[in-house]
Structure 1
Amino acid sequence: MMQTTIVRFKKPRLKKPILIEGLPGVGHVGKLVAEHMIDELGAEKIMEIYSPHFPPQVIVENDGTTRLVSNEIYSYKVKKGKHDLLILVGDHQSATTEGHYELSSVFLDIAEEFKVERIYTLGGYGVGQLVDDQTVIGAANSIELVRELEKHGVEFRANEPGGGIVGVSGLLLGLGAQRGIDAACLMGVTSGYLVDPKSAQDVLKVLSSLLDIEIDMQALEERAVEMEKIVAKLREMEQGQMPPTSDEQLAYIG
């Protein structure tokens, strides 16, 4: 039987690295942020991770070829800063509860290997309706980290999210605490049923402040403008001002 496998390409020497997790989740907020960072910073892929806990499918590329579902880790050396970066992205999270724990443990093993000093997990905070809220909600595995994040504009709400933080974004905080690794989750408020580049912008602004690095946001801003047009049309439909049409261009949703 297939086991979780790590394919390594390089092992860079990194300076007090911070791990950023941006796997698919609510509104694809974390995924948008992490992939945008990889593109803008020119981060280098150093690992691919394969697991039988991923959905049983392959990804079809633009040229018609296929590949297995995977997670990937990229590295980036910050020229002027205290911390280099490891960025975790991927096609899917685990499809099983056991897999979430196993893969989170694998990610933490990698974090310990590189002597990661802190983990930021990224995601969306779904509210079930279209919103203009620019709030970034946080959770952390130490009160000291809570206080630090508050200084950067992160909002903490008692007992929220109400259902907890599901998947890798939550487990890296809980399992990370058991290993003595500071970890926090940054969640952009979003509807929960649309890809949300605007919420991703809000999270990236906070993360850039925490990391003390500048990241060009133009590509995210352009996607946010396009999404705002779609959201405006959806609101009109909800209000009954115009019926949905079969040729409406909503290909960006999903």
Structure 2
Amino acid sequence: MQNTKIVRQNTEIEIQDSTLLVGLPGVGHVGKLVVDHLIEQFEAEKLLEIYSTSFPPQVLVDENSTVRLVSNAFYTFQVNGKDILLLAGDQQSTSSEGHYELCDLYLDIAEEYGVSRIFTLGGFPTGQLDHVDEVLGAVNQEDLTESLKEHGVTFKEKEPNGGIVGASGLLLGLSKFRDINAACLMGYTSGYLVDPKSAQSLLAVLSSILDIEVDISELEERAKEMEKIVANLVEAKQQQQQQQMLPETPTDEDLGYIG
């Protein structure tokens, strides 16, 4: 890949039979919130960074007005004797070709670190501001559904109806060619706002699957703040609907026609 650069941070860590969690930006940033939270909670160590011309032509500016190129990165932490690999970052590809190339690269790296199963994490848009405490699943092998149902994942025929776009979907399809079991876990979200409450629902299910304990207090605080924003939006929408239902005030011209 001539247009992609990998910068390795740590080459000495040995990882075997690991689980990969993918949380890149997407609907409601649900998956990104979960993976970023795990990275912070378990002080995950960065393994490598990925820079690509498939990302938007953009730099990010920090609090010191210093810029950096957008990038994605692999991290790792160990809990209960289990190696967890995480893919997090700033962007997904801006082109279809870039999506396929980057997902192939992600899977190359996953195989390098002995990944035996993959969970891509995202949001399922409902178009409604009301929260639904449910996690929808899709898998690349039918026999994975029963074990995931035991942890609270729901499966609905042909849902998501429009398929799964981006890395969350492509990694499922492409990993099948590499005999890696993979599932996409999606928290229900409006699709309009960053959704920490949906991330909480998804993290609860994921914690059960991985058999790990995660402190979610930070996500809870962010969820409370978002609830206030949603409540204001709902109130504004209701006021708008009420105004639309009010009869128009008659003008003098209108009154002239009253018999």
- Name 1:50's counterpart in structure 2: 51
Contact 1:120–1:186 (8 Å) recurs in 2 = yes
| Distance in 2, Cα, partners of 1:69 & 1:28 | 16
Amino acid in structure 2 at the alignment position of 1:66: V
- Name 2:252's counterpart in structure 1: none
In structure 1, the residue corresponding to 2:209 is in which secondary structure?
A: helix
In structure 1, the residue corresponding to 2:151 is in which secondary structure?
A: coil
Contact 1:14–1:77 (8 Å) recurs in 2 = no
- Name 1:168's counterpart in structure 2: 167
In structure 2, the residue corresponding to 1:195 is in which secondary structure?
A: coil
Correspondence 1:1-254 to 2 at 5 A: 3-11=3-11, 12-78=13-79, 80-81=80-81, 83-240=82-239
In structure 2, the residue corresponding to 1:38 is in which secondary structure?
A: helix
CA deviation digits over 1:83-106, x for unaligned, max 9? 311110010000000000000000
| Distance in 2, Cα, partners of 1:187 & 1:60 | 30
CA deviation digits over 1:59-92, x for unaligned, max 9? 11111010111001101022x24x3111100100
Contact 1:2–1:51 (8 Å) recurs in 2 = no
| Distance in 1, Cα, partners of 2:87 & 2:130 | 28
CA deviation digits over 1:190-234, x for unaligned, max 9? 000100000000000000111111110000000000000111111
| Distance in 2, Cα, partners of 1:133 & 1:58 | 35
| Distance in 2, Cα, partners of 1:14 & 1:98 | 30
- Name 1:249's counterpart in structure 2: none
| Distance in 2, Cα, partners of 1:4 & 1:150 | 38
- With the length of structure 1 as denominator, give the TM-score of the two structures: 0.92
Contact 1:201–1:217 (8 Å) recurs in 2 = yes
Q: How far off is 1:15 after superposition?
A: 3.6
| Structure 1 unaligned regions, length at least 5 | 244-254
Amino acid in structure 1 at the alignment position of 2:227: E
- With the length of structure 2 as denominator, give the TM-score of the two structures: 0.90
In structure 2, the residue corresponding to 1:186 is in which secondary structure?
A: strand
In structure 1, the residue corresponding to 2:115 is in which secondary structure?
A: coil
Residue 230 and residue 47 in structure 1: after superposition, are their counterparts in 2 closer, same or farther (change >3 A)?
same
Amino acid in structure 2 at the alignment position of 1:41: F
In structure 1, the residue corresponding to 2:74 is in which secondary structure?
A: strand
In structure 1, the residue corresponding to 2:239 is in which secondary structure?
A: coil
CA deviation digits over 1:31-79, x for unaligned, max 9? 000000000011001100000000011111111010111001101022x
Q: How far off is 1:10 after superposition?
A: 1.1
Contact 1:2–1:52 (8 Å) recurs in 2 = no
| Structure 2 unaligned regions, length at least 5 | 243-259
Amino acid in structure 1 at the alignment position of 2:168: S
Amino acid in structure 2 at the alignment position of 1:190: T
Number of residue equivalences = 241
| Distance in 2, Cα, partners of 1:71 & 1:87 | 10
Query: Identity, % of aligned pairs?
Result: 59
Q: How far off is 1:241 after superposition?
A: 7.2
Amino acid in structure 2 at the alignment position of 1:227: M
Greater C-alpha radius of gyration: 2
Q: How far off is 1:242 after superposition?
A: 11
| Distance in 2, Cα, partners of 1:221 & 1:186 | 20
Over aligned residues, Cα RMSD in angstroms?
1.5
In structure 2, the residue corresponding to 1:85 is in which secondary structure?
A: strand
Amino acid in structure 2 at the alignment position of 1:20: L
| Distance in 1, Cα, partners of 2:130 & 2:161 | 19
